[in-house]
Amino acid sequence: MTKQKSNLNWYFLVVGIFILYISLTNNQTNRETELKKITVELYKDITLVKGRKSSVEYKFWTKEYNNQFNILNGSISKGKHEAISNLKGGQLVDLYISPSEFENLSHETENITVEGISLNGIFLMTQAEFYRNRELYKFRLEIFSVFTALMLLLNGLIKIPKKINYIIIGVFIGSIIIMRIFEIGIY
């Protein structure tokens, strides 16, 4: 009697289940709170953080506080990136931070998340934009994670030909690009 080889790819199944579990259980919702306003002078020009391993899109320092101030990925509305990246050292800006972040200003090693920013009374990022954009950003990451997990599970359960895999992935990426271009769906 010969032993029949299983069509299951266990490593795909394990990784797929793990990614699916992480993406579906990590649903922390942010609640809008009353923000504290601080007026600060920028120490240097605002810096765009390069690389995708960081959750920070921009970082900067002020003359009043030694903390690093961060603007998180996916929190700035379309069309406002240029205005924020053009902020220069010496400019006075109003920053809006949560009460817990306000308490962290006394701890110089703590990074401070900015939830709103204005220059000369003109908002470059409001609290409502911050929360709306962050929720959409998290939703896009969740969709990508679930799709990746499902592809791994499918490949773990049955042998899907490479050509079919490429077609499914191409359709997924194409739909994301179309949504991005026309600003529909998750954008």
What residue segments make up the domains of the chain, in order of their start?
10-23+134-182, 36-125
Give me the pLDDT at residue 136, please: 85
Q: Which residues contact 152 (CB under 8 A, 6 or more apart)?
A: 12, 13, 15, 16, 19
Contacts of 8 (CB under 8 A, 6+ apart): 156, 157
| Strands in 35-151 per DSSP E | 36-41, 47-48, 56-61, 68-72, 92-97, 111-113, 116-119, 122-125
- C-alpha 33/C-alpha 123 separation (Å) is 18
Q: What is the mean pLDDT of the chain?
A: 86
Tokens of 108: 């110089």
CA dihedral (172, 178, 181, 185) in degrees, to 10, reads -80
DSSP 78: T
* Residue pair 23/145 in contact by the 8 Å Cβ criterion: yes
Question: Please, are residues 44 and 68 in contact by the beta-carbon 8 Å criterion?
Answer: no
Give pLDDT tens digits for 65-93: 999 999 998 888 888 989 999 999 999 99
Q: Quick one: fold of 36-125?
A: OB fold (Dihydrolipoamide Acetyltransferase, E2P) (2.40.50)
The pTM (predicted TM-score) of the whole model is 0.74
**Tokens representing residue 175 in the block:** 């739909």
Angstrom distance (rounded) from CA 46 to CA 49 = 10
What mean pLDDT is predicted for residues 153-162? 82
Q: Tell me the C-alpha distance between 160 and 157, whole Å.
A: 9
| 41 vs 161, higher pLDDT | 41
Sign of the dihedral defined by the CA atoms of residues 117, 137, 69, 105, in that order: positive
- pLDDT single digits (tens) 99-121: 999 999 988 889 999 999 999 99
Beta strands in 89-137 (DSSP E): 92-97, 111-113, 116-119, 122-125
